[in-house]
Amino acid sequence: MLQLSNDLSFDTADGVETGNSGDMAALNLSRLIAAAADAIADHAEALTALDQAIGDGDHGLNMKRGFEAVRGEAEAFSAKPLPEALKAIGTKLVMTVGGASGPLFGTFFMALGKEISAEPDRVNLTTAFGKAIDAVAARGKSQPGQKTMLDVLYPVHQALTQGKIASEIADVADNAAEATIPMRALRGRASFLGDRSIGHMDAGARSTALLVRTVAETIGERT
Ligand code: ADP
Ligand code: MG
């Protein structure tokens, strides 16, 4: 029985943990991988359409290729301790997604694997998530406000530190992706467009929000 839902459901304002902890070892990683790959596959065309508007139109295909590759090895990944599994997923994404986003998503999962414990509680998850997104920012030489995936990752981290529950975190992610629409892109291909990047949602922000919602909902429904 997955216990992270208990961790995610604590709602103390100061982030003091009140739920069960240390039970993420029971996390059904293969189910999470399948749900993430399904979400990306279901939205591949929409992600491509976003990237067509202000990029080169490959983001949906890139993500689908990467997550199908991860799905193909879900059994092997799930047999590993969580840190090793996340590092292996990151490595696979770097090798298969391509584009700018491949190394960035790969860095996220590899850094998360480096920082997370085998049986993380909410505090460890939050700290590891924070370090993983800092690693993405370092890799991309980017920061929030530049119309990238970081504009979803940082608000999600903030929601984690605030002790928000899974459904609230998923909403924060969606709203953060929407909030990239009026931004001017300062990183990635979209930045070549200058002001013409304004008025479109960032594709990487959207795919990140999709993954956040999928993880939150899969864990929230007690896999
Ligand atoms: P490419 O831009 O090479 O075609 P993708 O289309 O797969 O790669 O991914 C584009 C997404 O990657 C963007 O929507 C943005 O969210 C993200 N991205 C690009 N460059 C950076 C960066 N320097 N820092 C953070 N995210 C970035
Ligand atoms: Mg692209």
Distance 146 CA to ligand 2 centre (A): 16
On average, the pLDDT of the chain sits at 90
The domain spans of the chain are 2-219
Report how far ligand 1's centroid is from the alpha carbon of 24 (Å): 31
Residue among 136, 148, 193 whose CB has most ligand 1 atoms within 8 A, to mutate: 148
Give yes or no for residue 142 CB within 6 A of ligand 1. Answer: yes
Q: What residues contact 195, with CB distance under 8 A and at least 6 apart?
A: 184
Mutation choice for ligand 1 from 149, 201, 207, CB with most ligand atoms inside 8 A: 149
Give the Cα separation of 190 and 159 in Å (integer): 27
Whether 51 is in the pocket of ligand 1, judged by its Cβ within 6 Å, is: yes
Where the chain has pLDDT below 70, the residues are: 1-26, 221-223
Residues 6+ apart with CB under 8 A from 79: none
> How far apart are the CA of 130 and the centre of ligand 1, in A?
19
User: b/e for 200-211, b at 16 or more Cβ within 10 A?
Assistant: bbbbbbbbbbbb
Quick one: which ligand is closest to 57's CA? Answer: 2
Cα 151 from Cα 174, distance rounded (Å): 11
65 Cβ below 6 A of ligand 1: no
The answer to whether the CB of 163 falls within 8 A of the CB of 118 is no
Please identify, in words, the CATH class of the domain defined by 2-219.
mainly alpha
CB neighbourhood size of 176 (10 A): 24
In tens, the pLDDT along 152-211 reads 999 999 999 999 999 999 999 999 999 999 999 999 999 999 999 999 999 999 999 999
Check residue 155 and give its pLDDT: 98
Question: Is the shortest distance between the CB of 101 and ligand 1 below 6 Å?
Answer: yes
DSSP-assigned states of every residue in 32-92: HHHHHHHHHHHHHHHHHHHHHHHS-S-HHHHHHHHHHHHHHTHHHHHTS-HHHHHHHHHHH
State the ligand closest to the CA atom of 197. 1
The pTM of the full predicted model, rounded to 2 decimals, is 0.90
